[in-house]
Structure 1
């Protein structure tokens, strides 16, 4: 009896240690250094410091519904009601969003770039891969509409976790933008996590680790991994989505975006980039990326002219 108790106690101790370890990895994923992101984007030509510094902009701190500040930059070089919000990926910061911001600035949009919770300068203790982040995105949308009025032509662009976040926001909270660009999202976080466990851990099967991870995330961060599933809510999104993924992405498989595209009803477009790994579709296919974006905007966004005169691209775009 004592031996059986010791065995059970040892098993539970190992299970608890494993649960704490995995949930720590998820909730507190190591972020990239801000200087590393800045230098990488500068060296790639995505961020030219003098040009960025010269843009008319202001830094803002807006409240999350969970009580921490969200740090954002409002960039407004144009007299227009067209705005784009950019949501970065996990481990990144709003500096990573500058390249996408520039894409839209060149097309006559103003922009908001912001740091997700626990990233960059924003508050928040944990990363939740879109679960809490979708509410923060709503806070950014609400703030922008309060600042600029309701008559906005509004888009949201997201990369990786940022793309999953915008899909969860639009599918679970409100279809609150006129269009979306989802660049390399995962379709289901449990499925994504199972794939990463299989690729990186190898010695322990996902079927063993996923229930443990889910249990400890539920206890410690108050949500279930199964609640982070863009594909479960994609049918709720009526407004147009441009889906983008690199065929060579081996971190989040391109089949996830293909599945999301198939499940989405109504206006949509798919761009499978030939070159680049994860989150490199723009960097490695710049001309094609811009061409597809222009086609998407022409087909689904600029045609939605509401009489304000802002739905046609500017002459210098």
Structure 2
């Protein structure tokens, strides 16, 4: 009888533990993957004159934009983007990818930079963010396939002689790296990534430790399983490093020396992984996604020299 009670007690404990893990997994899935307000992300939309990129952001608010739409590569979602043609007609276009819970408007300063360099600029809202449809954040993984479709749309609009650069910051940087590992049209000439993570599992595991002092196992694995069921991908599959191993095109890596959100050490893993021509710039004193604001002139110069070398 005692043995029977012991077995029943053990089963109850196991059920409670599994239930607790599942409840915790669902909570963190909501925090990490479901679009919505995030307390750890600034939602500031007012541009202050004290902002070192005030002029650039103001320009984007005021410039005329064309409205592009398309269906996502998966899930049949309506995706939207802003397109700003270059001042002088050109076949050079940059595709700009925004960060976690960002949108095309949050990338206005970068649009200004590339527009001043003579590029057409396309800024999509990633699935589940901005004005695009979707009920989950892809962290760059399903988005890489969407960006392949945006690239085809650029070529259709600007011609077979198109020269395309992809650029992204934070999650957008990871999206850029993940896209680089796909089979892409020859019109794609180069990539510029700023502070992208080495992989989704690595980044979420890091944040679990930093924000909640929780170990990666088993919670992150449970959230990953829930994400696979609800959003179609495992965290471990969404790897910048693995995708970069298939890339042979030129890539410029930028990362802030004081980045504690996507730790600076990740850029060295990314840089090592790519197989194409590459450059690395660590921006002294820059925190996460603040390299442009920290050193705007140097930022523009690094990107200009890189593109002059690889996009003719």
Using structure 2 for the length normalisation, give the TM-score: 0.89
Distance 2:27 2:62 in 1: 45
Change (3 A) 1:41 1:170: farther
Task: Pick which of 85-94 and 36-45 moved more.
Answer: 36-45
With structure 1 as the length reference, what TM-score do the two structures score?
A: 0.88
Q: CA offset at residue 180 of structure 1? A: 0.7
Instruction: Find the counterpart in structure 2 of residue 74 from structure 1.
Output: 83
User: What is the DSSP-based 3-state SS (H/G/I as helix, E as strand, rest coil) of the residue aligned with 2:167?
Assistant: strand
Stretches of structure 2 lacking an aligned partner (at least 5 in a row): 1-6
* Contact 1:190-1:226 within 8 A present in 2 as well: yes
2:271 paired with 1:261 = yes
What is the CA-CA distance between 1:47 and the residue it aligns to?
5.4
Q: Which moved more, 1:121-130 or 1:174-183?
A: 174-183
> Pick from 54, 64, 68: which aligns with 1:60?
68
Residue in structure 2 matched with residue 6 of structure 1 by the alignment: 12
Secondary structure of 1:86's counterpart equals strand
Matches within 5 A, 1:201-212: 201-202=212-213, 204-212=214-222
Q: How does 1:117-156 map to 2 (within 5 A)?
A: 117-156=127-166
1:224 match: 234
Decide which moves more: 24-33 or 192-201: 24-33
Change (3 A) 1:42 1:83: farther
In 2 relative to 1, CA 186–206 (structure 1 residues): closer, same or farther, beyond 3 Å?
same
Which residue pairs with 2:194 in the alignment? 183
Gap change, CA 1:211 and 1:32, over 3 Å in 2 = closer
> Given the alignment, which residue of 257, 274, 281 partners 1:247?
257
What per-residue deviation string (whole Å, max 9, x for no partner) do you get for residues 176-217 of structure 1?
621111000101221111111111111x32223222222222
- Separation in 1 of the partners of 2:44 and 2:203? 24
Aligned partner of 1:24 among 22, 27, 30:
30
- Structure 1, 219-228 or 274-283: larger mean CA deviation: 219-228
Spell out the pairing of 1:285-304 with structure 2 (5 A cutoff).
285-302=295-312
Q: Report how many residues are paired.
A: 300
Indicate conservation of the 8 Å contact 2:128/2:135, yes or no.
yes
Give the one of 31, 39, 43 matched to 2:46: 39
- What root-mean-square deviation, in Å, do the aligned CA atoms of Structure 1 and Structure 2 show? 2.2
Q: Deviations over 1:141-197 (max 9, x none)?
A: 111112222211111110111111121112034366211110001012211111111
In structure 1, the residue matched to 2:4 is: none
CA–CA separation in structure 2 for the residues paired with 1:53 and 1:194: 36
For structure 1, list consecutive stretches of 5 or more residues without a partner in the other structure: 303-317
Partners of 2:110 and 2:58 lie apart in 1 by 17
> Using a 3 Å threshold, how does the CA distance of structure 1 residues 236 and 107 change in structure 2: closer, same or farther?
same
Residue 205 of structure 2: which of 183, 190, 194 is its match? 194
Question: How many Å apart are 1:220 and its aligned residue?
Answer: 2.2
Q: Matches of 1:41 and 1:63 in 2, distance apart?
A: 35
